[in-house]
Amino acid sequence: MIKVGLVDDHPLFLEGLNKLIVASGIAEVIFAAKDGKECLRQLAFNYPNVLLLDINLPDYSGIDLCKEIHDCWPQVNIIALTSFGEYTIVRKMLDNGALGYLLKNAMPEEILQGVETVAKGETFLCHEIDVFMKRDSHRHVFLTPRETDLLRLIVKGYTNPEIAVELFLGVETINSYRKNLLFKLNARNTAVLVKMAIEEKLI
Amino acid sequence: MDERYEVAIFRIAQELVNNAIKHSKSRQINVQVIQEQERINLVVQDNGIGFNPDKLKDKNTSGLNSIRSRVESLKGQLDFFSEPQKGTEVQVNFNF
């Protein structure tokens, strides 16, 4: 039987998920943690075959936690179970070692199918994410640390001279970086850049 | 594009990647070239051990000097960003 660990900060959701998995007969729940700390404590004693991991946890970013768990316990197959459907988040979770990605609006059968597939070491994306990830417009844009710093300040409404002071750089340098961002994100102007940064969670 | 810029970008990228391989102990090196009508921009970035950029001013190694002189001769702009343990990012920009 597949051993499953659950991590989610909403007790009601945790309870529902627990019941769903137990009732399926294909898996058993060996722990249900309400935050990242508890999850790490449990992992020190119990290895589940599959870990269903929420991304928005009170004490941890699920994205960082995913990497930490994947590095320390590579035998644990991780599925992100979350309400976030943004490209960057899915990409980051998969890059950090998650094998599966399920949205919280997925049907119960889809969740169980995900658990079974990922337990075999195969990848599983719920239908909505699968379709979304295959869309051409969502190419993976890698931003360098400086580009990310700059984007963060642009979103905060800083002007080029203000950014130059903040980052100890020349205005010319800031200008080049701003042009790089516009080019890489295929944005016509700063307003579009800000919109994309927020929508795609690039910062 | 003017051949001088082409050669400069190629040689500078080569030198920066060499430096990253030799000194940065990084697991990943990212090379990015953006060419637009009025400019060309090169960024070489690594996630290695980094260094204190203030110490760069006194350094006069031949590799670094060749980068500086190539950038200066074409009136470009060169920026080093680095911090110990936080990787290095070098940007070169030429406006035509």
CA atoms within 13 A on the CB side of B11: 15
Give whole-number Cα distances, A89 to A55, A66, A98, A168, B52, in Å: 9, 12, 11, 30, 33
Residue A138: per-residue pLDDT: 53
Best to test chain B binding among A142, A144, A166, A186 (most B CBs inside 10 Å) = A144
Contact B39 A176 (CB under 8 A): yes
* pLDDT tens digits for range A90-131: 989 999 999 999 999 988 999 999 999 999 999 999 988 888
Contact A142 B30 (CB under 8 A): yes
Query: Which residues, at least 6 apart from A157, have a Cβ–Cβ distance to it below 8 Å?
Result: none
**A115, A79 Cβ separation under 8 angstroms:** yes
**Which DSSP helix (H) or strand (E) runs through A79?**
strand A77-82
Residue B10: per-residue pLDDT: 96
Residue A84: per-residue pLDDT: 87
* pLDDT tens digits for range A134-144: 765 556 688 99
* B90: nearest Cα among B22, B36, B9: B9
Position A39 confidence tier, pLDDT thresholds 50, 70, 90: very high
Position A36 confidence tier, pLDDT thresholds 50, 70, 90: very high
Q: Which residue has the tokens 């337990």?
A: A119
Contact B91 A146 (CB under 8 A): yes
Contact A170 B79 (CB under 8 A): yes
Taking contacts as CB-CB distances below 8 angstroms, the residues of chain B near A148 are none
- The answer to whether A176 faces chain B, any CB pair under 8 Å, is yes
The average pLDDT across A37-63 equals: 94
Query: Strand, helix or coil at B49?
Result: coil
In single-letter form, the type of residue at position A129 comes to I
Query: Which residues, at least 6 apart from B54, have a Cβ–Cβ distance to it below 8 Å?
Result: none
Spell out the domains of chain A, with CATH numbers in brackets.
Answer: 2-134 (3.40.50.2300), 145-199 (1.10.10.10)
Taking contacts as CB-CB distances below 8 angstroms, the residues of chain B near A177 are 91
Q: Where are the domains of chain B?
A: 3-95
Residue A202: per-residue pLDDT: 83
What is the ipTM for the molecules in this complex? 0.87
Q: Cα separation of A57 and A53, whole Å? A: 9
Would you give per-residue pLDDT tens digits along chain B (96 residues)?
889 999 999 999 999 999 999 999 998 999 999 999 999 999 999 999 999 888 877 777 788 899 999 999 999 999 999 999 999 999 999 999
Residue A51: per-residue pLDDT: 97
* A148: nearest Cα among A176, A188, A183, A178: A178
β A27-33/A2-7 pair status: parallel
Q: Cα separation of A175 and A172, whole Å? A: 5
Taking contacts as CB-CB distances below 8 angstroms, the residues of chain A near B45 are 144-146
The average pLDDT across A67-83 equals: 95
Distance from CA of B17 to the nearest CA of A (A): 16
Distance from CA of B21 to the nearest CA of A (A): 18
Angle between helices A160-167 and A171-184 in degrees, nearest 10: 110
Which sign, positive or negative, has the C-alpha torsion B61, B62, B63, B65? positive
The CATH code belonging to domain B3-95 is 3.30.565.10
